[in-house]
Structure 1
Amino acid sequence: MSSQQVVAPWPADLSSYCFEVPYSEQSILFESASGVRLVDATGKRYLDGLSGVFVTCFGYDCEPIVTAVTKQVQTMAFNPPLHGTNKSAIELSRRLVDLAPEGITAAKLVNGGSEAVEAAIRLARLHHASRGNQGKLKVLSHYHGYHGATFGSLSVTGRPDVTRFGPGLPGVVHVWPPDCLESFFGVPHEDSGALAAAMIERTIEAEGPDSVAALVLEPVIHLRGMAVPPADYLPKVREVCDRHDVTLIFDEIVTGFGRTGAPFAAQTFGVTPDLICAGKGISGGYAPLAAVLIGEHIAGTLGEPGGPVSFAPSHTYAANPVASAAGLAAVELFESSNALDSVARLSERTASGLRALLAGRGELRAAGLLFGVTVRPHSGPDPEAGSKVAAACLRRGLIVRGQDDWIVLAPPYVAEDADIDEILSILGEALDEVCGGAA
C-alpha cells in the first residue's frame, strides 16, 4: 500500500471558503462515496474507519434511507414550524423513546449535538424552576469532556483549547473524571470511579446544592481516547445526583444509537439519566439530526400528564420533515437489520485484532464499536504519537482520528470482516512507522 499523500486538484481560489479545520496538505477534496469507502478528486479511495465522525453507521449508499429522504423531499421538504409538525417527526420520536431506557417518555428533535446539549441544560433549569427552585442554575461537567461548538455547549466543554473564545457562560463548574484522576494523579483504576464520584459530591456541597441544576457528562469520554469509566462510577454518580436533586444528563452524541452494544450507553452501563442527548448516527449521516430524550418526571413539567408536551424556543429546522424521514428510516433499519448483532460481531473481531496488533505499543479501550488506543512508541512517550499514526493511516487510505497521544476508531455497522482486516493491516503499518515494529 502506498504511503504517499496525493494532493487533490483544489480550485485555484479557496479564499471564500472557511474550512472546518485548518487547511493543510492533508486536506482532502472528497467527491463521492459508496459503502464504507470514499473517493477524492484524484480518484484515491479511502476506507472509513471512523464512520465519518461516528455518523455513517449504515454506509454511504444506504438505499432505505436514500429512498425515504427522496420521497420526503418530493412530498414536503419543509413545514411551517410555528404552526405544526409532520408525521415523520412524531413517529421518529416514538421510536426513539421505545429504544431508550425505561423512564424516558418524550423526545425533542433538534439539528445537532450542540443544540441537544444546550436544550438539555435549559430543560434542567426549567424543571427546577417549575418546582420552585429558581436558584438551581449551575451546571457541572467533566474536565476534558467535549459537548459541542456553540457557545453554551463550549462553556460546558472542559478543555483549555476552547478558552480562546473568552470566558464561557457563568455558572459552569468542572469536575475531574476517573480517567484524569488515573492519568494525572496516579489513582488506580479500581479506585478512580468512587473517588471521582465523591469529588462530584464534595463539589456540589461546596457550591451549594440549592444552586446546582445539572451534571452533564459523556459516559465514554471521546477526547480522552475513548475513556471507559470504572464499573462503579456512573451508578455512584446517579446516587449523588439523586441525593442532591441534580439533573443527570448523558451526552450520548457519540455513544448513542448502538455504538456501545446497546441502543444507548445508559443501557450498556445500567444507569438511566434524567436526560439523554443523542445524535450523529441517529440519521445515518443523511441529514443533520439530534434529539433530547426526556425522563417522565421532567416531561411532566412540559404538558398535561399523558398528553402532548412542548418546549420552546426551538430552531427553524428542528423536526424538519426531511431530517425526520432520514432518522425514522435509520431507526427502522437499526431494528430490522439487527444492527446490535453486527456491532457485537464486529466489536469482537476488531478488539481481538487490535490487542494482537498493539503488542506493547499502546493501551486499548473499547466499548462496542468504539475503540481508543493510547499510543506508546518504543522510543518513549510522544505527545503527538496519535496525530502521527492517524496521518500515517491517511496516507495509506484509512480514515481514523488521532490527537495528542491517542487514536480512535469507529467502524460502520455494515463493515465486512474483510474491511475490519484491512483496517487492522493499515493500522499495523502505521504503528510500525511511528512506534517501531511489534515487540
Structure 2
Amino acid sequence: MSPDTAASATWPADLSAYCFEVPYSSDTVLFDSAKGIRLFDTAGRQYLDGLSGVFVTCFGYDCQPIIDAIKNQLRVLPFNPPLHGTNRPALELARALVDLAPASITAAKLVNGGSESIEAAMRLARLYHRTHGNPGKVKILSHYHGYHGSTFGSLSLTGRPDVTRFGPGVPGIVHVWPPDCLEEFWGVDAEIAQNLAASMIERTIQAEGPDSVAAVIVEPVIHLRGMAVSTTAYLSRLREICDRYGVLLVFDEIVTGFGRTGQPFAAQTFDVSPDMLCVGKGISGGYSPLAAVLMSQKVAEILGTSGGQLSFAPSHTYAANPIASAAGAAAVRLFHEGSFLTRIQSLSEYLEPRLRSTIAGRGDLRAIGLLYGVKLAESGAHGRGIGAAVARACLKRGLVIRGQDDWIVMAPAFVTSKTEADEMLDILGDALDAVCGGCQ
C-alpha cells in the first residue's frame, strides 16, 4: 500500500481543528506506534527512521530504562512548584550534564527545548557584560543560513530569507557568512574559506564596535547547509577572536550534542571550549521535551549567591520539570553504561563507506560521527528542489530522512543495527536512482 493510499484511508474527514507543523500534503503521515527504529502509521505501513525523529530518538522508540524512569517519576512527583523549589532528578541531571561536557563547563540551566536554550544564552550573554560594567555590549553575531530555533529571539539569529515573513527580528543581531557559503557562492578554496570567514567575523566585530558585541553564536555543524562541517582551525580562530575582543563564544549544539559527532559534544570533537553550550534534542532520547544551556565558570559566577548557589530568572513553568529531568538523567546514565561512544564509532565506521558507495558520485558526502549530509548534484527538472524530491522518494519506500534545496541529511539512531543500516542504504539507493537516474 502506498503512503498516499494509506493516508486517504486513515485520516479523519475533518482536519480543520489541527494546525500542522508543516503544510499538510499527500505525503503527510499519521503515525500510530513505534518500536526500535521503526515507525508505523495507522494503516500499518512501517518506516525506518533514518533521522532519529529529528536528531532526537538516539536510543530508539522503546528504550525501557528511560520509560521506567518516567513511569517511576510519575508515581512519585509529576510536577513541583517551580517558584518554591526543585526536584532531585533535576539536580542529578545538571550534575551529569556538567560531567559530560568539556572541563570548562561548570553549570547547567535546564529548559524545555532548543529554542529556549538559545534564548537563555542570549540573555546570559547580555547579562554577563552588564554585570561586568559593559551594558552596551548587546549585539550578537550568527551565521547566515544557520538555524537556531523558532522563538522570536532564536529565529532572529537564523539568517535565512524564509523567516523574514514574520517581519524584522529582534534588534542587535548581525549575520556573517560561514565558510561553506564562501566556498559555494564565491568559489573560494576550502582552507582559504575557513580563514577568510574567521577574519570576516573579526572585521565585523571591529566594524560594529567591540564595545557593542556581546557574543558569537555558531553551529559547529550547520544542519541547513546539508551538514556543513566546521574545522578545528576555524572554531579555534573564533575562540581566539572572541577572547581578544571580550566577546562570549556560544556553540549551538542542539543537533551536534549528546554523542552525535563521536564525542559527547562537538566542542570536544573539535577541541574548542566555548563559554556556553546550548544542548537539546537527544538529551532525553525524545521521551520528554528537554534542553539546557551549559555555562563556563566565568558565566556561571555572575549568577551566584553568597552561599554559592546559582539562579537565573525569569524562567518557564515546565523548566527542570521532574518527569523531563528523570528522562534526561536516565538517558545520560544509559549513554555511559551502554558504552555508546564506542557503539557510535563502530556504526559510523560501518555506515560511512557504504553511504559513499550508495551516493556513487551523485553528490558530496559530509560525515562526522552519526551525522550525514549529502550535497546533491542538481538534476533535470528538480534543480534546487532535488533534496526534497529524494526525501519524498525515500518516504514512499519506507525511509525517513530530511531533504531540502540541494541536500539531504541522515542521522540514524545509536541503536541502529548493521542490518537496518544496510536496509536504509538500499532504500536510499533506490530513491536516488528514481530521482537522479544516471546523473553520476
Shorter-normalised TM range: over 0.9
Q: Please list the CA deviations of residues 295-329 of structure 1 after superposition, one character each: whole Å capped at 9, or x if unmatched.
A: 00111111148821111110000000000000000
SS of 2:389's partner is helix
Letter in 1 for 2:21: E
Whether contact under 8 Å (1:7, 1:25) holds in the other structure is no
Q: RMSD between aligned alpha carbons?
A: 1.3
1:144 matched to 2:117: no
SS of 2:221's partner is coil
Between 20-29 and 226-235, report the one with greater CA deviation. Answer: 226-235
For residues 117 and 428 of structure 1, what CA distance do their matches in structure 2 show? 37
1:165 matched to 2:166: yes
For residues 202 and 326 of structure 1, what CA distance do their matches in structure 2 show? 44
1:100 matched to 2:92: no
Whether contact under 8 Å (2:378, 2:384) holds in the other structure is no
Whether contact under 8 Å (1:431, 1:437) holds in the other structure is no
Q: Give the equivalent residue in structure 1 for 2:178.
A: 177
Aligned-pair CA distance for 1:382: 1.8
Q: Give the equivalent residue in structure 1 for 2:309.
A: 308
Letter in 1 for 2:226: G
1:11 matched to 2:12: yes
SS of 2:332's partner is helix
For residues 18 and 31 of structure 1, what CA distance do their matches in structure 2 show? 18
Could you list the runs of 5+ residues in structure 2 that have no partner in the other structure? Answer: none
Whether contact under 8 Å (2:378, 2:406) holds in the other structure is no
SS of 2:293's partner is strand
Q: Give the equivalent residue in structure 1 for 2:202.
A: 201
Aligned-pair CA distance for 1:12: 1.1
For residues 163 and 67 of structure 2, what CA distance do their matches in structure 1 show? 36
1:34 matched to 2:35: yes
Q: Give the equivalent residue in structure 2 for 1:278.
A: 279
SS of 1:184's partner is helix
Q: Please list the CA deviations of residues 24-65 of structure 1 after superposition, one character each: whole Å capped at 9, or x if unmatched.
A: 000000000010000001100000000000000000000000
Q: Give the equivalent residue in structure 2 for 1:393.
A: 394
Between 349-358 and 395-404, report the one with greater CA deviation. Answer: 349-358
Query: Residues 168, 198 of structure 1: CA spacing in aligned structure 2 closer, same or farther, 3 A cutoff?
Result: same
Between 342-351 and 319-328, report the one with greater CA deviation. Answer: 342-351
For residues 258 and 307 of structure 2, what CA distance do their matches in structure 1 show? 26
Q: Please list the CA deviations of residues 259-291 of structure 1 after superposition, one character each: whole Å capped at 9, or x if unmatched.
A: 000000000001000000000000000000000
- Output aligned runs, 1:256-405, within 5 Å: 256-304=257-305, 307-376=308-377, 379=380, 382-405=383-406
For residues 70 and 62 of structure 1, what CA distance do their matches in structure 2 show? 12
Aligned-pair CA distance for 1:4: 6.1
Give me the TM-score of the superposition, normalised by structure 1.
0.98
For residues 268 and 438 of structure 1, what CA distance do their matches in structure 2 show? 34
For residues 213 and 165 of structure 1, what CA distance do their matches in structure 2 show? 25
Aligned-pair CA distance for 1:230: 3.1
Give me the TM-score of the superposition, normalised by structure 2.
0.98
1:73 matched to 2:54: no
Query: Residues 380, 165 of structure 1: CA spacing in aligned structure 2 closer, same or farther, 3 A cutoff?
Result: closer
1:121 matched to 2:122: yes
Q: Give the equivalent residue in structure 2 for 1:187.
A: 188
For residues 308 and 351 of structure 1, what CA distance do their matches in structure 2 show? 45
Query: Residues 85, 381 of structure 1: CA spacing in aligned structure 2 closer, same or farther, 3 A cutoff?
Result: same
Q: Please list the CA deviations of residues 232-270 of structure 1 after superposition, one character each: whole Å capped at 9, or x if unmatched.
A: 110001100000011101000000000000000000001
Aligned-pair CA distance for 1:357: 1.2
Higher helix share: 2
Whether contact under 8 Å (1:154, 1:168) holds in the other structure is yes
Between 269-278 and 297-306, report the one with greater CA deviation. Answer: 297-306
1:416 matched to 2:430: no
Whether contact under 8 Å (2:66, 2:331) holds in the other structure is yes
Q: Give the equivalent residue in structure 1 for 2:437.
A: 436
Q: Give the equivalent residue in structure 2 for 1:254.
A: 255
1:43 matched to 2:34: no
Aligned-pair CA distance for 1:222: 0.3
SS of 1:69's partner is helix
Whether contact under 8 Å (1:148, 1:157) holds in the other structure is yes
For residues 258 and 95 of structure 1, what CA distance do their matches in structure 2 show? 14
